[in-house]
Structure 1
Amino acid sequence: MRSMFRALSGVAMMAIAVPTVHAQAQRQQAAAALPAAAPVADLIAQVDIPYESFTLDNGLTVLVHTDRKAPIVGVSVWYDVGSKHEPKGKTGFAHLFEHLMFNGTENAPGDYFEPLRAIGATDLNGTTSFDRTNYFQTVPRAALDRILFLESDRMGYLLGAVTQRNLDNQIGVVQNEKRQGDNQPYGLVRYKMSEGLFPVGHPYHHSTIGSMADLQAASLEDVKTWFRSYYGPNNAIIALAGDIDVATARPLMEKYFGAIPRGPETKLPPAPVPTLPAPVAETMNDRVANTRLYRMWAVPGLRETDAHNLTVAAGVLGGLASSRLDRELVRGRQLAVSAASYNQSFAQVGIFMVQMDVRPGVDAAEAGRALDALIADFIKNGPTEDEIQRVATTTVARRLGGLEQVGGFGGKAATLASGALFADDPAHYKKELAAIAAATPQSVRAAAAKWLTRPVYALTVQPGEREAYVEPGTTPAAPTAAAQATNTAQANAAPTPAAADGPAQGTRGALPPVADIRDIDFPDVQRARLSNGIELVYARQQAVPTTQAIVSFDAGQVADPAGKLGLANFTLAAIDEGTTTRDVNALAEAQERLGARISTGNDADRSFVSLFTPSPNLDGSVALLGDIVRNPAFADSEIERLRGQTLARIAAELTNPGALAARRLPGLLYGDSAPYAKLAAGTGDPAAVKGLTRADLAAFHQAWLRPDKAKIFVVSDRPLAEVQAAFERQFGNWRANGAAGAKSFTARPTQASPRIVLIDRPDSPQSLIAGGQITGLDPKGELLPEFTANEVLGSGFLSRINMDLREEKGWSYGARGGFNRMEHAVPYIVNAPVQADKTGPALASLREQVSGFLSTSGVTPAEFERTINGETRELAGNFETSGAVLAGMQANDLYGRPDNYYDTITQKYRALTPQQLDAAARGTIDPAKWVWVVVGDASQVRGQLDSLGLPVEVVPASAVGGSAAPRAN
């Protein structure tokens, strides 16, 4: 099992065809040998981001990488300021200011996402870490002038737009971001980690999110002083990657950034790697399903040679699928349901962490002793040369995949900028890969012995009641009704001149215009067939030497038989846990030597096995894929181990707010008899999982994972003939045996009457609100008007729902609503995590927003223009990567659309009118019919919900797994 599963599937049981001895021998002979993998040095040679750099007179460093594959440019701005620069009493300021930088500037007032949406920006966000704050977006080349104006305006012309109202609002948003993270199982570990490893006063002692009290105390002058201290051009690096070159970039950067004055120089705070004076062991209670053990050490930062050796050590110990922890503790002695290790390298220090989830029924102390013994053995004996090479190959393969993106969080621009900021070398990524590939058993063992024999910080998180959650003394008040009406009117009005093309309201003149943006050219899709009839759907992308493929089966969660919910999930989990030719460890090692990644899973309508591989290893990787798909062993020993892991995962779902809501809502939307009601099973029904047998798995495989239900989708830099030949060799002689499974959608959904189901999850600082309805939409119809209307109502940052709960009220870190398009149904679902004391008002506000949109305001001219521009201009960025193209190909196939659908979608958008969008939304969505699920602390929330005019049913979280029905109150 190599992936998380969103859903399940199933099959009616039938006779199982047992392979003959001759057939088994043929399979073993065909699958025993794999083509030799490309040397890791050859793969490293493919990882290259050539760049040029220059520095403006004010100290701004600019890096430029040219990549003409698409008319887009990734813009990545990195500031040398993070939480390590925060003094006592100001924790969380760097992250808080990251939020404020999205609230408009002196020359572009209003929300920063407004002009970004209008120009079709993709991969846009900002993040804060211990070491830095960064902002990034990928934009059409024709909009580069405008994004440089906007980025320069928030670097040099921000403070006049920072108001007390903006500050109060973003304090509330950040506090809800903190609550949202804290509300997750194990969510409080992040504080224990930094506080346990680094002493008070150390720059890495406090978390990036900060404390509620410090956030609450932030004054307007505090944050303005913070900006003046750190956000000067001499403390910034800007990387441009894509359809750009230095000759074009230099005058643009001078034009927009050259006049911004230098600021104070950032001072690097002293941050030595601390050593604990003695081992520390702590235990904390949390509402978790499984006991988790941590072992942690502070270690050197990313510039140090030992950091690379420790990265290899972490890979061998618990990072590879074939890791020591997996072999010994998960698969061997079965003391754990999962185990992993990581080496997190920051600029000045790092954290080496080992974690393990103890198998239910196993004594945690015994598991801890086994974990410590395994770590000690690794320190004593070190890794093998083969293990090191497998770590190097998988690391290089991941980096190759990342080279497809020019922007985003991990693309080319960010790679160059991070190297320049942290290591004074934009090409630092090459040194990292070379150092990992050059590691030896002796160097890794020496680094582990040096750093991991020091006193350990050991943390145990065990099931139990959490300590009382610390809330701030007061929270920013929501705007008055009059102020909110004014804000809403302003948001829905025609764009201000700064958000359009007219003169700016500040002193810098008009925003640069956006030139014409040509329509998307989606890769040509070709179709072929293997000799046994399996269709192969192919597109060529030549940006990087990688291949991505998915073998998609017409199965999915809806195929699960009623009494065996979880069968498909279990089968897909087991399919790559050993074949008739390779056991689970051999499969893992073979993938690692190839740099391949094979994963399995299900959604509502499909089961799939997917592949990512460096193209030089295409033949070997497809051979391994074929072995997994065709020859699963379903060994009894692996089934019993997976059963324990699956039951532990189900138990974990019952502690997670999102999973609890996802398990309860389908029953309300579909009733009990419709096929999609099976989505409520999550990973599976515990009683059913306990009873599954090897025969069940083999029958599912025979009936559903078979050539006549398969279709292969591939995006590769290699030509179709080569790809087809590789798949023909492994799949061309595959024949179906026995009867195929069949789905039935004769039972129609029967939605429950409007109500609120409150899932009682005590001690929750947030409530998760989920709600929606079944629509009458045809999943295979043209739904562009409905989906486009929802861009205004519920999808994206600027939607009515999100702007109200997040930007107007500050009650949520983010709220969304959207259509969930499946093969035979299209429900509309909203999702809003909100602070607990605003649960009732937030649900009421959701209803008001939806009802107001449908009954009165509709889509405004400003919203229509912004949405159509954004949807058409972002297409090139949306389909930048092979993974995105692969997903688009599958969606076209599933919904019966032509292969060139995305080549024609721009014309479809331009033909829409506001009236069409209004009619589409009003004919589809009816909030009076909605059913609601709220996951929160009933002692805080119940009273808020009783006043909303809907019946409220209370369910304990422990009952959501399927055994107990809701109780009416």
Structure 2
Amino acid sequence: MIKQIGLSIVLTASVVSAAEAQTKLVEKVTKKGDELVIPYSKYKLSNGLTLIVHEDHSDPVVHVDVTYHVGSAREEVGKSGFAHFFEHMMFQGSDNVADEEHFKIVSESGGTLNGTTNRDRTNYFETVPSNQLATALWLEADRMGFLLDAVTQKKFEVQRETVKNERGQNYDNRPYGLVYEKTSQNLYPYGHPYSWTTIGYLEDLNRVDVNDLKNFFLRWYGPNNATVTVGGDVKPEEVVKLVEKYFGSIPAGPAVQDMKPMVARLDKDRYVSYEDNVRFPMLRMTFPTPEAGHTDEPALDVLAEVLGQGKNSIFYKNFVKEQKAMQASTSNSTSELAGEFGISVVTFPTTKLADMEALVRKSIAEFETRGVTEDDLVRFKAQAESGLINRMASVSGKVSQLAAYETFRNNPNYIQEEIKRINAVTKEDVMRVYNQYIKGKNAVILSVVPKGKSDMVAKADNYTVSTDGFVAGSDEYSGLKYTKAVDTFDRSKRPEIGANPVVAVPNYYTSKFKNGLKVIGAKSDEIPTVTLQLSIKGGHRLSANDMSKAGVASLTAGMLNEDTENYTSEEFTNELNKLGSRVSIFSGTDETIVSVQTLKKNLDKTLALMEERMFRPKFNQDDFDRLKKQQLEGIANQATQPTTIANNVYSKLLYGANHISAMPSSGTAETVNNITLDDVKKFYQNNFSPSVADLVVVGDITEKEIIGKLNFLKNWKKKDVKLVADTKAPAIDKTRIYLIDKPDAAQSEIRIGYVAMPYDATGEYYKLGLMNYALGGAFNSRINLNLREDKGYTYGARSGYGGSKYAGPFTASAGVRADATAESVTEFMKELTNFHKTGITEDEVKFMKSSIGQSDARKYETPGQKAGFLGRIIEYDLSKDFVKKQTDILNNITKKDIDALAAKHLPVNNMHIVVVGDKKTVLSKLQALNYEVVELDTDGNPIGSSSVK
């Protein structure tokens, strides 16, 4: 049977396997003309597993995604966090894959992998060289069908600690980290599937046992509740055979019914609040809206954009532009069962949230007067088109899209329907949804205020979660049995792999304009886009000549994103958004970047806007005053952030207080207060020059085409810009611990290291990257396996060399449980010391060579990856064969070479150890270690010292 979907042919047929006709070809979608579509074939196995295959031979990589239609919404009251917990357990080995082997096998294959959980689904995915397809499918099938006997109590306990660390790092100890949890609790009725978050509650995680977790797997992780999506350098018939072999014999699990939408209902405005370790009060208003896929969803998305997205929005004008708040935005977020229209305002420290609520309501009412314009719809539709196209830049992006559409729409080709829905939105639709869901409707109004400032809330709390009316659902877990597949082959044997695919380094062209501007580019026609990245050397480092005005580079970049001679910033943004393009300027440590992304068809108009932004800034005093105020508030806020404190103090210790690298690129309150608008103008006039600039171009355009469009850059007048030479970092006479007190912190931030060396693509720096891979560079590195997987001290620990043109640090780092702070320092130093003394093992050398050697297949896939690769070539003046030289170094490096590097470049007796944590919890244990302990304030100034031993 043949049926038509859009302009795509869909075939219904069947595939005959070697054994019997058990896998059906449900449909095949092919691209016709210029339509926006991801071609695929869709199959159904006899056990209910859905298979989708997308064939794309543009790069020698393959992406495998297994999506299970189960998220936190399938959990029970009192047993929250199971879906996410199981995501962790799925990486802990199965019958034929040993503990920690999943990460190791994929990494060794040159691949990358992960898993994610949300309310409605859990997915697991790998991107690997195409010769490793069978390995990826074998791994995924083994944990689908052969997991539970490998789930031990010990693994359960370690991963429970890891999840608790993740909650601490990303929720409990992160500013505003509980906003989503508090909103969900109070928006939905008690027991509603969305009334808790995916991470779950600590008390639930502490309560459950390993058998609860096993039952969750048996109920929801069957092949009939899963979609396997494979994309990349594959042939569909080969994928079908492999999936039949590895997945086909896994028995179906219990039947799974789709859940019906359960949109929240509010009988009044619910005011709730909590105190947090923040500087800026936050107001969050949440209105119930329909679920994803509902006919009103696109119109609500337009409403969110008009109200509070970008510089053309009402909220930007009333809050940010008028300096009433640091940030103000709106969004329409949708999930499978319900949606939420959210309004967030982050205001200044002395502002009462009641005043912000009043301005929110006034701004909402203003929408009625303003209405919806044609420009609003043009902007929304252009950005939606650009977003859909850019998602197709990688095989993983296309596979993820197919998997999501199949899981939630039962139609991988839903992109066609998505386009129709977007293009069909009218001004009348937007006004209708405003009246139906927002105007005069009730909301959850959450106030987040600094600790001790409860008087700043919008209104006193008037709602408490009630269990009245809650009825537990039917028992989903009784009588479940674990039945393993019966195979005709030995599943314990890893699949044979073919030869490594031939990876072509992108062909590129170079050019140099008379004014000194260097150009490097590559044609890439997989998607109809063009990316430009202009790097102007200097950035924050130029302030080394006058550190009293550090932060001027950041302020200058901010001002270049404001008004120009011919456009207000709002008008400029409007023009960009109507094209679905982006032109933005930002400053870094060593450079200022002009970043441009556009659809090919809109390139000329986008380049005209790039020229306007770069060469015709208006430098308004009002814009300067607003940005300076925001920068000063951001600096003040850093004193509340343990991660930022750790990084800043660590840098100050590494480089010395008078080194520009010791100064944050945003500056300090003192230095930013010194900066005037004239300073910004002077910085722009003196330092923005083609003589210190590089341009990278990647996209669907030839060298001749793009060079012909760059006259405005050819005519850029050069200046004599002198880049600042680096100064030597102070020597470290001995390893000490520096403690910065963060009262009541449940986690501690640790940084350990010293100033190493500059970047070198084919010298000792490159070799240090090879050396560090087994120490702290891979997931299966010694440091991460010890602190995360074995001890459960952290969500993740790592080490690495961070060189640029200037000397950069070696740093080992982690955020760890407060009660394991001293123990974590001990384990870090143990691993560093052991590696320093005894070096690497032969097995680790083999793993490193295999992993890094095969990873080239993933390096040049997307326009962004190509731009990064070319940018490094032009920045460091690398030869065309530098990748071959790196490969030769990799292939020839020995254990003896790496041991020598470790002995030379891991000076464990001459490193700084920085700890940001709760002094009363961690100090005594740190003092018991064999290091002097020096206490510092949050600016890195000494406040006392003590030592034991």
TM-score, reference length from structure 2: 0.89
- State which of 629, 648, 665 in structure 1 corresponds to 2:614: 629
Q: Which amino acid aligns with 1:968?
A: S
Q: CA 1:590–1:751 in 2, change beyond 3 Å: closer, same or farther?
A: farther
Q: Does the CA-based 8 Å contact 1:56-1:258 persist in structure 2?
A: yes
Distance 1:966 1:394, change over 3 A: farther
What is the match of residue 491 of structure 1? none
How big is each residue's C-alpha offset from its partner over 1:312-344, in whole Å with a ceiling of 9 and x where there is no partner? 21122222343221122211x221111111111
Mapped pair 1:754 → 2:735: yes
Q: 1:812 aligns with which of 784, 787, 794?
A: 794
* Correspondence list, 1:633-712, <5 A: 633-678=618-663, 681-712=664-695
What residue in structure 2 maps to residue 535 of structure 1? 518
8 Å CA contact 1:294, 1:355 repeated in 2? yes
Structure 2 counterpart SS, 1:284: strand
**SS of residue in 1 equivalent to 2:104:** helix
- 2:590 counterpart of 1:605: yes
Q: CA deviation at 1:380?
A: 6.3
Match of 1:378 in 2: 367
Q: Determine if the alignment matches structure 1 residue 562 to structure 2 residue 547.
A: yes
After superposition, residues 808-847 of structure 1 pair within 5 angstroms as 808-847=790-829
SS in 2 for 1:47: coil
* Amino acid aligned to 2:529: T
User: Counterparts of 1:629 and 1:423 in 2: how far apart (Å)?
Assistant: 44
Tell me, yes or no, if structure 1 residue 98 matches structure 2 residue 82.
no
AA at the equivalent of 1:838: A
Residue 344 (structure 2) aligned to one of 355, 360, 363: 355
For 1:48 and 1:322, how far apart are their aligned partners in 2? Answer: 31
Which sections of structure 1, spanning at least 5 residues, go unmatched? Answer: 1-41, 468-503
User: Post-superposition shift, 1:43?
Assistant: 15
> Deviation digits for residues 707-751 of structure 1, max 9, x if unmatched?
2221111111111111112222x21211135x5243132455444
Aligned ranges 1:244-393 → 2 under 5 Å: 244-331=234-321, 333-378=322-367, 382-393=371-382
Q: Name the amino acid aligned to 1:319.
A: Q
Letter in 1 for 2:863: S
Mapping 1:109-124, distance limit 5 Å: 109-111=98-100, 112-122=102-112, 124=113
Confirm whether residue 50 of structure 1 aligns to residue 39 of structure 2.
yes
What's the CA shift for 1:441? 1.4
* Aligned amino acid, residue 569 of structure 1: S
Spell out the pairing of 1:120-135 with structure 2 (5 A cutoff): 120-122=110-112, 124-135=113-124
1:513 aligns with 2:490: no
Partner of 1:483: none
1:583 correspondence with 2:565: no
Q: CA deviation at 1:909?
A: 1.5
**Which residue pairs with 2:443 in the alignment?**
456
For residues 292 and 231 of structure 1, what CA distance do their matches in structure 2 show? 39
The Cα of 1:571 is off from its aligned counterpart by: 0.7
Paired residue type of 1:415 = Q
Q: CA deviation at 1:436?
A: 2.2
Aligned to 1:722: 705
Distance 1:381 1:694, change over 3 A: closer
Residue 102 to residue 780, structure 1, CA distance change in 2 (3 Å): closer
Quote the Cα distance in structure 2 between the aligned partners of 1:906 and 1:118: 16
Correspondence for 1:931: 912
Aligned length: 878
SS in 1 for 2:811: strand
Which range moved further: 548-557 or 798-807? 548-557
SS at match of 2:92: coil
In structure 2, the CA distance between the partners of 1:70 and 1:466, relative to structure 1 (3 Å rule), is farther
1:150 to 139, 151, 172: 139
CA distance in 2, matches of 1:747, 1:720: 41
**Relative to structure 1, is the Cα distance of residues 779 and 465 closer, same or farther in structure 2, using a 3 angstrom cutoff?**
farther
Match of 1:395 among 374, 378, 384: 384
Match of 2:3 in 1: none
Work out whether residues 131 and 347 of structure 1, in 8 Å CA contact, stay in contact via their aligned partners in 2: yes
What is the match of residue 437 of structure 1? Answer: 423
Residue in structure 2 matching 1:898, options 879, 891, 894: 879
The CA deviation at 1:234 is: 0.4
Change in 2 beyond 3 A, CA 1:227/1:942: same
**Does 1:914 find its partner at 2:889?**
no
Q: How far apart, in 2, do the equivalents of 1:950 and 1:310 lie? A: 58
Tell me the distance in 2 between the aligned counterparts of 1:778 and 1:99. Answer: 35
Residue identity matched to 2:791: K
Task: Kindly state the Cα deviation for residue 601 of structure 1 after the two structures are TM-superposed.
Answer: 2.1
Instruction: Give the CA deviation at 1:629.
Output: 1.5
Pick aligned residue for 2:536 from 548, 553, 576: 553
> Which deviations, in whole Å up to 9, do the C-alpha atoms of 1:396-425 show, x marking residues without a partner?
212212211111xxx011100101111111
- Out of 433, 445, 467, the residue aligned to residue 447 of structure 1 is 433
The question of 1:945 aligning with 2:934 is answered no
RMSD: 2.2
What is the rounded CA distance, in whole Å, between the counterparts of 1:65 and 1:249 in structure 2?
10
**Higher mean Cα deviation, 342-351 or 266-275?**
266-275
Q: 2:870 is matched with which residue: 885, 889, 892?
A: 889
Structure 1 match to 2:25:
none
Amino acid at match of 2:855: E
Pick the aligned partner of 1:67 from 43, 56, 64: 56
Alignment pair present for 1:415 and 2:418: no
Q: Could you tell me how far apart the structure 1 residues matched to 2:687 and 2:872 are?
A: 20
**1:571 counterpart (556, 573, 577):** 556
* SS of residue matched to 1:131: coil
Give the distance between the partners of 2:643 and 2:104, measured in 1 at CA.
29
| 1:382–1:442 CA contact under 8 A, matched in 2 | no
Tell me the CA shift for residue 763 of structure 1: 2.5
Deviates more, 1:665-674 or 1:817-826: 665-674
Once the two structures are superposed, what CA deviation does each residue of 1:654-692 show, in whole Å capped at 9, x if it has no partner?
2222211111111111112334223xx242211221231
Q: Which stretch has the larger CA shift, 584-593 or 231-240?
A: 584-593
**Inter-partner Cα distance in structure 1 for 2:344 and 2:356:** 11
Task: Tell me, in whole angstroms, the C-alpha distance in 2 between the residues paired with 1:556 and 1:449.
Answer: 48
* 3-state SS, counterpart of residue 341 of structure 1: strand
- After TM superposition, the score normalised by the length of structure 1 is 0.88
Is the contact made by 1:668 and 1:752 (CA closer than 8 Å) also made in structure 2?
Answer: no
Query: Sequence identity of aligned pairs in percent?
Result: 32
SS at match of 1:794: helix
* 2:127 alignment partner in structure 1: 138
Letter aligned with residue 742 of structure 1: L
In structure 2, how many angstroms separate the alpha carbons of the residues matched to 1:666 and 1:934? Answer: 13
Contact 2:501 2:857 in 1 (8 A): no
